[in-house]
Chains A and B, each alone.
Chain A
Amino acid sequence: MGRNKATLLRKFHQARWDEEIICEMSVPGERGILVPRVEREIEAEVGDGVSMIPEGLRREKPAALPEVNQVRVLRHYLRLSQETMGADMTVDASEGTCTMKYSPKVHEQLVGNPGLRDIHPLQDEDTLQGILEVYFRLEEFLKEISGLDHFSFQPGGGAQGVYANACMVRAWHEARKDENRSEIITTLFSHPCDAASPATAGYKVVTLMPDESGYPDLEAMKAALSERTAGIFITNPEDTGIYNPRIDEFVKAAHEVGALCAYDQANANGILGITRAKEAGFDLCHFNIHKTFSSPHACMGHSTGAVGVAGELGRFLPVPRVTYNGTKYRLEYDRPESIGRVRCFFGNASTILRAYAWILQHGADGLREVAECSVLNNNYLLKKLSEIPGVVIQYAEGKRRLEQVRYSWDKLKQDTGVGTEDVMRRMADFGLQHYWMSHPPWIVPEPFTLEPCESYSKDDLDEYVAVLRQISREAYQDPQLVKNAPHNSVVHRVPSPGIDEPERIAVTWRQYQRKKRADSVKPQS
């Protein structure tokens, strides 16, 4: 029983429940909660309650919700949870670029506190003083961490933060009547949202390809800059974990043509307390409050893209702003030059509270230690992985990586035919979650991107390495074993085509049923 002490491998087998979708479990009339009947006295006073709702707002038919009793609901979700490999279940060094650090569970107690859980953003601000104070204080922390002057926590994620920054860049140029600036410059190894979000905001996007050394190409940047350049949007360290040591020169060149510089600091885990946006000369930045400051990385819901700006740019931040007059915290809406809202209300309060708690837990020295440990962990992993047959590390050879590395199984593929997707599927057989391969386009062949963060111990990383070493060995000895993986997991192969075809994506049960019906009556081609 237990993990093999010599090999560090486990005999893992995942639960498979063959579970239905909750809507398919519905039994007409079945109930999870029996809502008590209205008491007679109350009914006598207000009638049946429903008729108080204006007729136009009333449903004609009850909502088509699944009708399932409590026991079955509980069982259903427990089963599904056994069929996933979430961050808390495995050593989650897998999701490079996502900073899947450990999120302390005490935070769930904080955000579950009725004082936060039961408030509503439309309450009178006098009754929201507690959470507004947390907002205000977190802003102070981030000002210190970045060196910039004002922050907003409204955007619901990193990509939306970048969008807000692009809007502020435009507002800045427009306020100066400098209206022919239609282009944003980014680099290929920046996060794709540094191209996509400005494009969504209406900008043309110019991408710099890496030079032969793997660094962003400064000469290319100078060739790209012109009086049409509105701004540069750059991630640093880049997706590859490589820190651009000439970042200040990029900023200087951009400023010389009158462009603004926006720093994507969603990869800040390796530089907390070490370098700041201000010293590199940036005008705007954003942090992923989820990931860097705890709260697991998760789409646009449970997350916050904190946008920070220098000096005068503060006029353009989204409303409402949280302000403090020495006695009272306020939500300030009256800011005529603001870009307005990028999201409703004032963002995801739970992530703000978690981040605030997390920073208090660490203190200033602790933040720096986070960066140092994450860089140390990463370089330990890098050293160990570079010893595994089949792994290669391309670009900026011999250069140190910060908090993550984009690796390549190219040699393994050439030698054995086993590629990165095969390895990824095999990992599940050892109880590890699949890894992140790469953002597009795939410049590094057979890529995989790992980021061990500060949370994992040497033993955790050794186990992780042991699994990859074992898979490499199997690929050289018995490639079919790896190619046919997983063998001990729930789903053997997820059919991949169609995942990016809008006409086949279904995000609701109703949509699923409709598309499935349409699909089954479609003539076979």
Chain B
Amino acid sequence: MKTLGLIVNPVAGMGGRVGLKGSDGPEVLRLARERGATPEAPRRVSQALAAFAGTGDPVQWITCPGEMGEDVCRGVGLAPLVLSSIRGRETTWEDTERAAGLLLERGVDLLLFAGGDGTARNVCTAVGSRLVTLGIPAGVKIHSAVYAVTPRDAGELARRFLQGGLRSVREGEVMDIDEESYRQGVVDARLYGYLRVPVEDRYVQRMKAGGVASEAQALAGMAEEVVDSMQESEVFAIGPGTTTRAIMERLGLPGTLLGVDVVCNRRLVARDVSERELMDLTAGRRVKIVITVIGGQGYILGRGNQQIGPTLLRQVGKQGLLVIATKEKLASLGGRPLLVDTGDEALNRQLSGYLRVITGYEDYAIYKVGHS
């Protein structure tokens, strides 16, 4: 029998309705309750679980007691196994992490979690890439690309995955923005890691026609294109992401998935640099910046790669910016532009317009860039 883990962050989404832009931390939560916020998560999770209710699918549900999962399961008529070592009330993010850890030990076939970016982070810390996971969107902030579009979609996707109808899994970005600065109007989004999520296969050609380049081939091609273009003593800042990782792999260099790495003459100069370090390493040099789309919204700057700051971007200009992405990734934006958010309006405008994106070896697409 297939096993499905479920973790619900019972307070997810509470800050949103009352204008608090998040629900992290006991103080904010108290404020939210004072302003009359009620839990959002249970309703959303029931919408997701509706996909399973009454189907008789042979699935063993494993969840946390009380409001962290058990209640909603029972509410839709499912009989879950309950992790008794987790408390049922007044839970915190630590309980999410512990529960995820326990589900990892049990090796569930899929871990469903409900919440927002904070919850995704907790799950990511506990399980990393060791389980296939999927988020039910219930939180205020959802920048991470590990959530289904709607709770209903999450349920359907989970069901199809367990039935074997979906076979592919992708690495989705786990992002979180700093709530404190967000409340002050500043978006400070960090890339925390990646979770493995089932792929909605609407756009995936399972029965391949001969000669279709697989994603791996496309990645190898893009990496080759960038590496080919590297000129002597030119400094390359390689941004975070699974797409840019292919370049470091091609060079045989130990890059970081989440950080910015600096390469010169095909050698590693520094890993995971800060904005300051990057400025120092690039001062007075010819510089190229390699970035890719981070998260589901199409950001290429300002989400998860803020180390690449406006000062450097101004110096390097549009010509020095190498954006790499597969055509499938661009297509998945459904015609929406790529986005930049450098924190500097004038620079955002300057980077907007049409951009040449590297999509393979000697293969490019022209794509629109906008700003928020």
Contact = CB atoms under 8 A, between A and B. Distances in A.
Given A220-B368, A224-B356, A417-B160, A207 B206 contact: no
Contact of A442 (B160, B203, B326, B356): B203
A410 B200 CA distance: 12
A206 B366 contact: yes
Contacts of A410: 202
A366 to B, nearest CB: 34
A391 interface: no
A383 B6 CA distance: 45
B331 A207 contact: no
A223 B364 CA distance: 13
Contact of B203 (A417, A445, A500): A445
Interface string A161-186: 00000000000000000000000000
B203 A441 contact: yes
Interface stretch (B35-43, B112-120, B208-216): B208-216
B83 interface: no
B335 A211 contact: yes
A464 B368 CA distance: 40
Given A207-B363, A224-B356, A419-B202, 5 more contacts: A199-B362, A220-B367, A441-B326, A441-B327, A500-B211
A242 to B, nearest CB: 15
Contact of A207 (B160, B203, B366): B366
A325 interface: no
B365 A209 contact: yes
Contacts of A500: 208-212, 214
Contacts of A438: 205
Contacts of A224: 354, 356, 366
A209 B364 contact: no
A443 interface: yes
B204 interface: yes
B206 A441 contact: no
Contact of A199 (B335, B356, B363, B366): B363
Contacts of B122: none
A441 B335 contact: no
A437 B207 CA distance: 10
Contacts of A439: 209
A496 B365 contact: no
B354 A219 contact: yes
B330 interface: yes
17 contacts: A205-B362, A209-B330, A211-B335, A220-B366, A223-B353, A223-B354, A224-B366, A414-B156, A421-B206, A437-B205, A441-B203, A442-B203, A442-B205, A496-B207, A496-B208, A500-B208, A500-B214
Interface string B195-234: 0000001111111111111100000000000000000000
Interface of A: 188, 195, 199, 203-212, 217, 219-221, 223-224, 410, 413-414, 417, 419, 421, 437-443, 445-446, 494, 496, 499-500, 505
Contacts of B201: 419
Contacts of A440: 205, 209, 212-213
A445 B202 contact: yes
Contacts of A210: 335
B364 A220 contact: no
Contact of A212 (B206, B335, B367): B335
Contacts of A496: 206-208
Nearest to B360: A205
A505 B209 CA distance: 13
A217 B203 CA distance: 22
Contacts of B210: 499-500, 505
A212 B335 CA distance: 6
Most chain B CB neighbours (cut-off 10 Å) among A207, A417, A421, A499: A207
B57 to A, nearest CB: 13
B331 A443 contact: yes
B345 interface: no
Closest 8 CB pairs of A and B: A445-B202, A223-B354, A204-B362, A496-B207, A220-B366, A443-B331, A442-B203, A212-B335
Contacts of B203: 441-443, 445
Contact of B328 (A205, A413, A421, A441): A441
B306 interface: no
A60 B124 CA distance: 66
A208 B366 contact: yes
A220 B335 contact: no
B359 interface: yes
B95 to A, nearest CB: 34
Contact of B359 (A207, A221, A445): A207
B165 interface: yes
Contact of B207 (A204, A220, A499): A499
Contact of A206 (B206, B330, B335, B364): B364
A211 B333 CA distance: 12
Given A209-B330, A443-B331, A496-B208, A220 B354 contact: yes
Contacts of B206: 421, 496
A413 B202 contact: yes
B365 A208 contact: yes
Contacts of B214: 500
A166 to B, nearest CB: 13
A224 B357 CA distance: 11
A502 to B, nearest CB: 9
Contact of B327 (A199, A207, A212, A437): A207
Nearest to B328: A441
A314 to B, nearest CB: 30
A134 B212 CA distance: 38
Contacts of A204: 362-364
Nearest to B225: A204
A440 B214 CA distance: 10
A384 B328 CA distance: 31
B169 to A, nearest CB: 15
B352 to A, nearest CB: 12
Contacts of A445: 202-203
A205 B221 CA distance: 13
A188 B327 CA distance: 9
B289 to A, nearest CB: 20
A439 B208 CA distance: 10
B365 A206 contact: yes
B167 to A, nearest CB: 9
A227 to B, nearest CB: 15
Contacts of A208: 365-366
Contacts of B356: 206, 224
Nearest to A493: B207
Interface in B330-367: 330-331, 335, 353-354, 356, 359, 362-367
B118 to A, nearest CB: 29
Nearest to B326: A441
B207 A417 contact: no
A104 B335 CA distance: 44
Max chain A C-beta neighbours (<10 A), residue from B203, B204, B366: B366
Contacts of B331: 188, 209, 441-443
Contacts of A205: 362-364
Contacts of A203: 362
A89 B2 CA distance: 44
